[in-house]
């Protein structure tokens, strides 16, 4: 137990290892999940060895890379989906306009043959 009057011990930094493993296996955008995994392992090693400041530093880097990997892996598919939907809508409008053009062309050529 800590002595009376001494400052409370700072909590050990989180290593974000589970999040990094998830990003590495399932959402490895530009290898950021692998980089986050490397920093998470370094943070855990420093925490076990007792170097709390280095553990905090590597934990912060692991959290940053995990956030980037997650954001990239969520935002890019949403952006791609939005582009596909708008492309399909645009192509359907073009197809509707071209149907009118082709029916006009075919009906005009039929009148000239008679």
Q: How many CA atoms lie within 13 A of 19 on its CB side?
A: 19
Residue 84 belongs to some domain of the structure: yes
**pLDDT at residue 99 in the model:** 77
CA dihedral 27, 75, 85, 91 (to 10 degrees): -100
Residue 1 belongs to some domain of the structure: no
Of 12, 15, 11, nearest in space to 62 by CA: 15
Q: Residue-wise pLDDT tens for the chain (114 aa)?
A: 555 655 566 777 888 999 999 988 887 778 899 999 999 999 999 999 999 999 999 999 999 999 999 988 888 889 999 999 999 999 999 888 887 766 666 555 555 555
Residue 99: domain span: 58-109
Residue 101 belongs to some domain of the structure: yes
Of 29, 102, 11, nearest in space to 66 by CA: 29
CA dihedral 105, 108, 110, 111 (to 10 degrees): 180
**pLDDT at residue 97 in the model:** 83
**pLDDT at residue 5 in the model:** 55
Q: What pTM was estimated for this model as a whole?
A: 0.65
């Amino acid at each position: 137990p800590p002595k009376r009057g001494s400052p409370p011990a700072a909590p050990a930094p989180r290593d974000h290892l589970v999040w990094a493993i998830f990003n590495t296996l399932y959402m490895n955008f530009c290898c950021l999940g692998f980089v986050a995994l490397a920093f998470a392992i370094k943070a855990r090693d420093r925490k076990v060895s007792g170097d709390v400041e280095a553990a905090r530093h590597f934990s912060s880097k692991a959290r940053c890379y995990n956030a980037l990997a997650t954001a990239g892996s969520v935002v890019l598919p949403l952006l791609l989906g939005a582009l596909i939907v708008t492309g399909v809508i645009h192509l359907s409008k073009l197809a509707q306009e071209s149907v009118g053009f082709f029916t006009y062309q075919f009906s005009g050529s039929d009148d000239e043959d008679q």
